[in-house]
Amino acid sequence: MTPLIQDILGVVSGTLVGFSLGLIGGGGSILAVPLILYVVGVKNPHVAIGTSAVAVAASAATNLVNHARHGTVRWHCALVFAAAGVAGAFGGSSLGKIVDGQKLIFLFALLMMAIGFLMLRRRSDIGNPTVTLTRGNFPALMAAGFASGALAGFFGIGGGFLIVPGLMLATGMPISNAIGSSLVAVTAFGLTTAANYAFSGLVDWRIAALFLAGAVAGGLAGAQLSKHLSVKRGALNKVFVALIFAVAIYMIYRTSAAL
């Protein structure tokens, strides 16, 4: 594959991830690693994970600005969760770097299937939107943050599917606030994982930049289309989950032969 073709595929792959995030509202970043591996053509699974972490962190930071403007971020709770998770993400990403690449991708595929099942569940927006940090919820935030960060760091993902329910359980905030607040942690976890992988030379910065450029453009397009298809959001979500399962099965097929 020529560098030009790889660059084009990097932008296209980022656009697909950004478009799915804008259209569905979550879960799209889980496709970043398989796209970087099997479409862009990055051979080293660890480089794919490190590069994905850069794109995930930057994308989350961009979305965080929008949620902060709308006042959905519960900053005190989010910062405690993120601080505990950074320690977990550093430990998880350090462990991920020493695990065999093919085994790591196989486990990643299993995680994708678990995320698919979680995305099929309907979650209500019932909760206390004025929740704040207290002595009562501080330990739960620390524990949930560390555990979420460890898994996010190990697999090089944003971890929103873990962070959102973790914030809801620890504080009782509604899902709308949990989604906005989760982006603080996703950004922090992604930066920690990316820095850890970059320290070991496991980030392709050119691909990361191209992927992110595509993700920004795709996200804007997906968000615009989402406004017109809001009544079909449930059906779109099911289609996206089916895509996640299909990609996960393909990854299991590809990695099982190498294990």
46, with CB counted inside 10 A (0-12, 13-18, 19+), is: buried
pLDDT over threshold 70, residue 229 = no
| CA pair distance 29, 60, nearest whole angstrom | 10
Overall average pLDDT of the 144-165 stretch: 86
Q: Please give the structure tokens belonging to residue 103.
A: 């085994």
Q: What value does the mean pLDDT take over residues 197-222?
A: 90
Q: For the chain, what is the largest distance between any 2 Cα atoms, rounded to a whole number of angstroms? A: 56
Closest CA to 92 of 158, 157, 154: 154
CA distance 125 to 123: 7
Task: From 252, 211, 16, select the one nearest 112 (Cα to Cα).
Answer: 252
Tens of pLDDT, residues 72-120 = 899 999 999 999 999 999 999 999 999 998 898 899 889 888 878 877 7
Q: What is the mean pLDDT of the chain?
A: 86
| Confidence at residue 241, expressed as pLDDT on a 0 to 100 scale | 79
Structure tokens at 234: 């449930």
Give the pLDDT band (50/70/90) at residue 185. very high
Radius of gyration of the chain (CA): 17
Q: How many domains does the chain have?
A: 1
User: pLDDT tens digit string along 122-132?
Assistant: 666 678 888 99
Q: What is the pLDDT of residue 259?
A: 66
CA distance 235 to 88: 35
Q: Which positions ≥6 away from 99 have C-beta within 8 Å?
A: none
pLDDT digits (tens, 9 = 90+) for 22-75: 666 556 667 888 999 999 999 999 999 999 999 888 888 887 887 888 888 999
Instruction: Give burial (CB, 10 Å; 0-12/13-18/19+) of 173.
Output: buried
Confidence of residue 231 (pLDDT cuts 50, 70, 90): low
Work out the number of other CB atoms within 10 angstroms of the CB of residue 118: 15
The domain containing residue 66 runs over which residues?
Answer: 3-256
pLDDT range class, residue 16, cuts 50, 70, 90 = confident
Per the structure block, which two tokens stand in for 75? 């900053």
